[in-house]
Structure formats: C-alpha cells, structure tokens
C-alpha cells in the first residue's frame, strides 16, 4: 500500500503496551510520522519500549506530548481520564487527540472533561489484539486488515477525524465510523460477552476441580480453543466490564436465557429441542469467518 508519508510530524502515544507499542512500530515502519514519542509510567515497560525501539523517544514524562500533532491514548479504559489529564497541559490548540479504548461511552465521559479542546478528540477502537499484552508483544503488522471503529461526536472537528482515519489507514486498518452507544452495544455482544463467558468457564472448571479432583489436564483442543481469550489481561478486562456495564449486562442476560433453555432441554431429555438448538448454532457458526 502506498502511504502519503509522513502523515504527522510528531506522534505521541501514551501507554507502551500491546496496542500503543504496535501503533508506534507501525508508524515507524510505515513512515506515518516523522518522529514518534511513547509515554509510559511503568519502568519495566519503558525499558522494554526502549530495548525494542518502539519510538524515537520513550519517556515517563507526559510533557513528551508537547509539540505533538497527534496524541494517542493507549492505556486501559479505566486509566483514560487520568492519561488525558496528564497530557492536557502540554497540548497545543491544533493537537488532535484519539484513543484506542475498547469502550467508547465511558472513555468519552472520562476524557472530554480533561481536555482543553474537546472538539479535537476523536474516539477510536482498533479491533485487533491478542491475549498477550505489554510492549514485548507489540507488532508493527497488528492492524493490517483490521477493522478500526471511530466514534466521532457531532462536535468533533471533521478535519481531526480525517487525520485519525488517515493514521489508521496508514497502519493497515479498515476504518469505519459508528455512534459511540451503538459501538458499545455491538462490542458488548461480540467481544465483551465472549470474554466474560471464557473467564467464567475457567472459573467453573476450577470450582469443579476443587470438588472432584483433576479435570483440566484431561482436556483437549476444544477447551483450549474455547478458553484462549481467558488469557487476556485481567486489568484491561476488569475495566472493560465495568465501563460497559449496562450493554454487557443485557448481553449476559440474553446468554443466561439461552443457556437456561439448553439446560432445561437437557434436564427434560428433550432430544428434538436440543438438536434444533445445536443445529441452529452450528449453522450460524459455519457462516462466520473462521
């Protein structure tokens, strides 16, 4: 892909984790920014960011955002407000700010009051990731072909949305826009619910093991496949669950209803009903890309 380079002179990314680190690497390797600075409070993550050469500058000082055309907040959802407040005194009137949080309503509520120029904030969420977290897992190609959702508000300056769109397109993303509430409803169902269910399943197996003795060591690929996402970072998922509480609770209620129906069919020996429910789900699963 040909990228009009560089898109920004100075890019500052707050949070040298999987997503922030990957964006730094993508920006460097694809020439999206003349200069990349990463801001990270954790000494070990900062050292790893320097060791891997994620950015031209790696610093614990939020003042490294000074002079940036574009600032990306890439910290856990519960830390977004704090991260925005830390960089706020260093933002110029022209600086565009975006974030990568997995929940949009709560991030808007936390970040907007902390920023001096709210119209220049463009909320975003790259739909890319993996179970590993931290700077060590950063990958320049993480966003190649990935969907990136932006949730600009009516007050958002369209030129800022265009700049953020160009950054993600340059990193390989397929960018679309959505209303923040719609985003949170959709991702509660397709991402947050499956993570909670995976964590719950592992929790249930631990409880069963406490009662019955060893179980998990007898498992095969099915359990591994199903619970892969329960290896994800617990802080990140705690924040997502609490920040997207209402839509997630709605999705969980629907899941409990469907699980309850399956349980009732099993208890009643309802072979026809059970077969119909399993076949319906298999058909739908086969229609999804693997």
Q: Name the residue nearer to ligand NAP (CB basis): 7 or 14.
A: 14
Closest CA to 89 of 56, 66, 59, 60: 66
Helices (H), 220-290: 221-227, 234-243, 245-268, 271-286
Binding site for ligand NAP (CB under 6 A): 14-20, 40-42, 45, 74-77, 79, 82-83, 100-102, 125-126, 128-129, 133-134, 233, 236, 240
- Please, which residue, 45 or 110, has the CB nearer to ligand NAP? 45
Contact 127, 150 (CB under 8 A): no
Nearer to ligand NAP, 84 or 265 (CB): 84
Q: Which residues contact 161 (CB under 8 A, 6 or more apart)?
A: 122, 150, 152, 177
Q: Which residues of 8-24 are buried (b: 16+ CB within 10 A; e: fewer)?
A: bebbbbbbbbbbbbbbb
Is the CB of 20 or the CB of 172 nearer to ligand NAP? 20
CB of 170 to ligand NAP, least distance (A): 18
Q: Single out the residue of 46, 106, 58, 74 nearest to residue 243, CA to CA.
A: 106
What is the smallest separation between the CB atom of 87 and ligand NAP, expressed in angstroms? 9
Task: Write down the least CB distance from residue 235 to ligand NAP, Å.
Answer: 7
Q: Does residue 103 contact residue 240 with C-beta atoms inside 8 Å?
A: yes
Q: How far is the CB of 216 from ligand NAP (least distance, A)?
A: 24
Minimum distance between the CB of residue 239 and ligand NAP, rounded to whole angstroms?
A: 7
Sheet (strand 147-150) strand order:
124-126, 147-150, 174-177
Q: How many CB atoms lie within 10 A of CB 200?
A: 13
The closest alpha carbon to 229, from 132, 143, 142, belongs to 132
Report the residue number, 15 or 172, with the smaller CB distance to ligand NAP: 15
Q: Which is nearer to ligand NAP, 67 or 134 (CB)?
A: 134
Q: CB 77 → ligand NAP: shortest distance, Å?
A: 5
């Amino acid at each position: 892909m040909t990228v009009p380079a560089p898109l920004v002179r100075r890019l500052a990314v707050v949070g040298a984790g999987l997503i922030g680190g990957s964006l730094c690497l993508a920006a460097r390797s694809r020439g999206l920014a003349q200069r990349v600075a990463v801001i990270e409070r954790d000494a070990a993550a900062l050292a790893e960011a320097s060791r891997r050469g994620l950015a031209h500058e790696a610093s614990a000082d939020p003042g490294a955002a000074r002079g940036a055309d574009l600032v990306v907040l890439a910290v856990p959802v519960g830390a977004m407000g704090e991260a925005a407040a830390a960089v706020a005194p260093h933002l110029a009137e022209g600086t565009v700010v975006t974030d990568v949080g997995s929940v949009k309503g709560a991030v808007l509520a936390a970040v907007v009051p902390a920023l001096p120029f709210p119209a220049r904030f463009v909320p975003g969420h790259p739909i890319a990731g993996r179970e590993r977290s931290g700077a060590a897992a950063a990958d320049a190609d993480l966003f190649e072909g990935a969907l990136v959702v932006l949730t600009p508000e009516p007050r958002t300056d369209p030129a800022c949305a265009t700049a953020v769109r160009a950054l993600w397109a340059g990193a390989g993303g397929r960018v679309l826009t959505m209303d923040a509430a719609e985003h949170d409803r959709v991702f509660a169902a397709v991402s947050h619910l499956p993570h909670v269910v995976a964590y719950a399943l592992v929790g249930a197996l631990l409880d069963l093991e406490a009662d019955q003795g060893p179980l998990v060591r007898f498992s095969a690929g099915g359990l591994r496949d199903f619970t892969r996402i329960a290896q994800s970072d617990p802080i990140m998922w705690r924040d997502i669950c609490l920040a997207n509480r209402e839509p997630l609770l709605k999705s969980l209620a629907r899941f409990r209803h469907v699980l309850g129906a399956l349980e009732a069919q099993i208890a009643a020996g309802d072979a026809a009903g059970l077969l119909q429910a399993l076949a319906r789900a298999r058909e739908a699963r086969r229609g999804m890309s693997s």
